[in-house]
Amino acid sequence: MKIGAPKEIYEGEARVALTPASAKELQKLGHSCLVESGAGLGAGFSDALYAAAGVTVVADAAALWAEADVVVKVRQPLATETALLRPGQTLISFFNPAGNAEGLEAAKDAGATVIAMEMVPRISRAQKMDALSSMANLAGYRAVIEAANNFPRFFTGQVTAAGKVPPAKVLVVGAGVAGLAAIGAATSLGAIVYAFDVRPEVAEQIESMGAEFVFLDFADNQDGAETGGYAKPSSPEFAAKQLEKFRALAPDMDIVITTALIPNRPAPKLWTADMVAAMKPGSVVVDLAAERGGNCDLTVADQKIVTDNGVTIVGYTDFPSRMASQASSLYANNIRHMLADLTPGKDGVIVQNMEDDVIRSSTATHAGAITFPPPPLKVQ
């Protein structure tokens, strides 16, 4: 099959779904690869590098979509992109199927197969295709770098001839993949790190990374775990206790990194305007939940603002794209592992095996039908 990567057209998106290295792996599976001219430039991959890896460089998006049997992309396609889908073609991309009814209809009507990367089930076998995790890991790391870049002090404590420097105090709210990456980056810069999550089972992971788990004095415990490792909404009593705790911590925290999400819901509001008002000038809030409405009351998506009391609030939604080369390499690996499972004979023939849990769960449209949401996994 011909696997082709167009240039991402979502504004500011610098990642690309095919790299020269991933193309070489795809060729070993019997596929040939195409890339739209300039598609990799934002991530540091020139047309010449693709050509050297045996990839055919095509002039424009129309030619790419027309020629490729399988189109690989990063961002959920825009309507102008889904309009290019044709019968029998496969699209592998983030697709947001739960919030993209129009895209699903368009792909179904076009007779195309859509493999939605956010639907890869979180089972051990599928970890190598788990693009949500590979991108969340980058986002958590980058959140700390953005915080440090905006924080006018050291992260690490120092004793110097010119005076003693206290270590920065960092609070990470939500210790999933992004939160744990943020803890790792902040501790390695020398900060004192505290972390909170509604799922008590993460306490051990938090502590093993050198951070302190923030416990709540609450009768029902910190039990916010739902099946599959995700969080469920907190009870009003628990939420009130959590906010009370954060209110007490706010004046003492230099950096707050929020990553709290609950599947298919707006982000819970956890860092309120009065907490921001209680923070010291120069403090920084980085809100990784900005795309889903933000964990902080004052977050403005895609912007950095500075409050009247001198607190910087970063609401960027493009953290992985800010590390486009690394993000593209990891994402392209996720995609090529998906294609490896779709090419069991390593003969360039795609087999859409709907009996396979990973393929079935990820497939959002196929054979003229919408196949989202998928049935529960056969094997957990």
The CB-nearest residue to ligand NAD is: 176
**Maximum CA extent, the chain:** 72
Distance CA(318)–CA(260), nearest Å, equals 17
Residue closer to ligand NAD by CB (options 108, 199) is 199
Residue whose pair of structure tokens reads 């193309």 in the numeric block: 23
- Are the C-beta atoms of 51 and 21 separated by less than 8 Å? no
Residue closer to ligand NAD by CB (options 46, 205) is 205
Q: Measuring CA to CA, how many Å separate 84 from each of 13, 72, 352, 357?
A: 20, 13, 21, 28
- Are the C-beta atoms of 140 and 279 separated by less than 8 Å? no
H helix or E strand, kind and range, residue 90: strand 90-93
Distance CA(72)–CA(7), nearest Å, equals 10
Catalytic residue chosen out of the listed positions 76, 130, 287, 329: 130
What's the closest the beta carbon of residue 141 comes to ligand NAD, in angstroms? 13
Active site residue 127: yes
Active site residue 130: yes
What's the closest the beta carbon of residue 173 comes to ligand NAD, in angstroms? 5
What's the closest the beta carbon of residue 205 comes to ligand NAD, in angstroms? 8
Residue closer to ligand NAD by CB (options 7, 142) is 142
Residues that bind ligand NAD (CB under 6 A): 122, 127, 130, 132-133, 136, 173-179, 196-199, 229-231, 234, 259-263, 268, 270
Active site residue 122: yes
Residue closer to ligand NAD by CB (options 94, 196) is 196
Distance CA(31)–CA(45), nearest Å, equals 20
Residue closer to ligand NAD by CB (options 34, 186) is 186
Contacts of 303 (CB under 8 A, 6+ apart): 315, 316
Distance CA(137)–CA(178), nearest Å, equals 5
Q: ∠ CA(119), CA(332), CA(94), 5° rounding?
A: 30
Catalytic residue chosen out of the listed positions 27, 32, 47, 230: 230
Residue closer to ligand NAD by CB (options 55, 296) is 296
Catalytic residue chosen out of the listed positions 133, 134, 222, 326: 133
Active site residue 133: yes
What's the closest the beta carbon of residue 178 comes to ligand NAD, in angstroms? 6
Strand, coil or helix: 352: coil
Q: How far is CA 87 from the centre of its chain?
A: 30
Active site residue 230: yes
Catalytic residue chosen out of the listed positions 32, 46, 69, 122: 122
Q: ∠ CA(285), CA(286), CA(287), 5° rounding?
A: 110
What's the closest the beta carbon of residue 320 comes to ligand NAD, in angstroms? 13
**DSSP label at residue 377:** P
- Are the C-beta atoms of 348 and 29 separated by less than 8 Å? yes
Q: Rounded to the nearest 5°, which phi and psi values hold at 122? A: -90, 70
Residue closer to ligand NAD by CB (options 26, 214) is 214
- Are the C-beta atoms of 314 and 322 separated by less than 8 Å? no
What's the closest the beta carbon of residue 216 comes to ligand NAD, in angstroms? 10
Alpha-helix residue ranges (DSSP H) falling in 252-349: 273-278, 324-342
What's the closest the beta carbon of residue 133 comes to ligand NAD, in angstroms? 4
Which residues are designated catalytic?
A: 122, 127, 130, 133, 230
